[in-house]
Amino acid sequence: MNVGMLLDMAADGYESRVAIGSLADGVSYDGLRRAAGAIAARVAGSDAATIAVTEPNGAIVPATLFGAAWSGTSYAPLNYRLPEPALAELLVRLAPAVVARADWLDPSAPLPAGFPDEPERPAVLLFTSGTSAEPKAAVLGHDQLLAYIFNTVEFASAEADEAVLLAVPPFHIAGVAAVLSSTYAGRRIVPLPRFTAEEWLEVARAERVTHAFVVPTMLARIVQAMEEHPDARVPTLLHLAYGGARTPAPVLERALHLFPDAGFVNAYGLTETSSTVCVLGPDDHRAAHESDDPAVRARLSSVGRAVPGIEVRVVDPEGRELGPGVSGEIRIRGAQVSGAYVGQGSRVDTEGWLVTGDRGFTDTDGYVFVEGRGDDTIIRGGENIAPAEIEDALLRHPAVSAAAVVGLPDEEWGERVAVMVALRPGSTAAPDELRAWVHERVGSLKTPELVAIRDELPHTPTGKILRRQVRAELAEERER
Amino acid sequence: MANLLGKRYTCPVCEATVLVTKPGDGELSCHGQPMEVLQAKPLPSSD
């Protein structure tokens, strides 16, 4: 199969509906199909294996995704903020590749001829964010992406007035998945080329946005902006999905309070799994929020349950399955799971299970709790410490806007707990005050021995905290 | 019975599933009987 069929069906089914842009001057599904055809025509007869996009969100993004599918080449969205030499290096790894240009888009081009039913090349090549290592290009096949869409989205399920605010960049898996699922559902995409909380709120209001997906750093900034500007509200918002990394509980609690009428959706997924594999839906959020049962309340910090077609299990270091409530490594299996990389081995075992590298556990009803990357677990004097609990405690301090807890190598303890925090503008807090705050909430074992204060934490272009850089900076600071 | 664009039909005997990518007239059948429309699973949008 070919992901081009999603756009083909959409254009046949609701051709004049706006696919992307404003209601007044956006591109229709029919126009998007023609633009995709125009892009496919550009590479027809060339030796290009990949069509890259090096621009922020806009019509060029879905047009190139589907244009590549139409021509049987791979779509590779790249980080447009990278300096020229770094971009050139990525393009070499994808060669022979061409970069799509805005002037290739022609929504009035003739209707394109059919796409290959069984394209030889994969649909999408996506560089992973590499929070702990160099980025790798994940390979996502047509059948894998379609398995995700067919298992989770019903065709034409969106109402005519629905619109999704696309704020994650095109080179994030959620940016790829949003294009596919919105197209299939018939939900208008409102692209946000560059994220700021103020812009997000303003565009969401002006475009009467009903759906949105944000990564935790975006959610934290939106919450902060709304608290500072009580009239900045988005009354049309029905669904607010968040994911991409663990969302700190204090940020989520504030968001639930600020969007009382929106349904919250926590999505867990990896680039390698073609986006979402677990979902905590609006009903789960409500039940957890209102319940007196601690086990049900705890689910607010879970990522929900596996989506149809996906199996999740938690294993020990020897690969043996662990029971409910026991932490281990999370493994995932299903038709949407890839695990393959350009020029490297696969991370899927012989039975089809993807080794995620994430630590977590399940409860007796199958709710999945993700504790973080396995590499991020701190082992101090033989005790496993998850950074999440300490970070959540710090984020409840009124002056703290972001926190990253890491382990630093230590001869006596194996590792010691250290933290880098960013403070809210205009706020102050001394390191000793923050240490006392954490000590009071999570105990002495988990109290950071080093507290460094910064204006901002280092993060990837997709909003994940760069823990290896935090670790390196803190190690250097300790030496001084 | 018309086959509607984007609807899924399944065979009650072998569970084969068909997705309608081009609508048209006629009736889908499998194992000598009409295929049944699959009801949508309500799943919240997550991206």
| Closest alpha carbon to A420 in A478, A370, A346 | A478
Residue A30 φ then ψ, to 5°: -65, -45
Structure tokens of A250?
């204090």
Structure tokens of A419?
């933290």
Answer yes or no: is pLDDT of A131 > 70.
no
Question: How high is the pLDDT of residue A280?
Answer: 97
- Band of pLDDT at residue A22, cut at 50, 70 and 90: very high
pTM: 0.91
Q: How far apart are CA A104 and CA A106, in angstroms?
A: 6
List the single residue in B with minimal CA-CA distance to A152.
B43
Q: How far apart are CA A387 and CA B35, in angstroms?
A: 52
Task: Report CB contact under 8 Å: A174, B44.
Answer: no
Burial of A202: CB neighbours in 10 Å, binned 0-12, 13-18, 19+: middle
Answer yes or no: is pLDDT of A133 > 80.
no
The answer to whether residue B22 neighbours chain A at the CB level (below 8 Å) is yes
Question: How high is the pLDDT of residue A414?
Answer: 86
Nearest-Cα distance to chain B for A357, in Å, is: 22
Question: How high is the pLDDT of residue A136?
Answer: 87
The answer to whether residue A413 neighbours chain B at the CB level (below 8 Å) is no
Cα–Cα distances in angstroms (integers) from residue A184 to residues A11, A94, A142, A349, A432, in the given order: 10, 28, 15, 31, 53
Please list every residue in chain A whose beta carbon sits closer than 8 Å to the beta carbon of residue B41: 154, 308
pLDDT digits (tens, 9 = 90+) for A142-161: 999 999 999 999 999 999 99
Of all helices (H) and strands (E), which one includes residue A189?
Answer: strand A188-191
List the single residue in A with minimal CA-CA distance to B39.
A154
Question: How high is the pLDDT of residue A134?
Answer: 66
Answer yes or no: is pLDDT of A48 > 60.
yes
- Rounded to the nearest 10°, the torsion over CA A430, A432, A433, A439 is 150
Answer yes or no: is pLDDT of A132 > 60.
no
Mean pLDDT of chain A: 93
Answer yes or no: is pLDDT of A377 > 90.
no
Q: Please report the number of interchain residue pairs, chain A to chain B, with beta-carbon separation below 8 angstroms.
A: 63
Residue matched to tokens 């705890």: A298
List the single residue in A with minimal CA-CA distance to B44.
A281
Q: How far apart are CA B5 and CA A201, in angstroms?
A: 36
The answer to whether residue B19 neighbours chain A at the CB level (below 8 Å) is yes
Model ipTM?
0.91
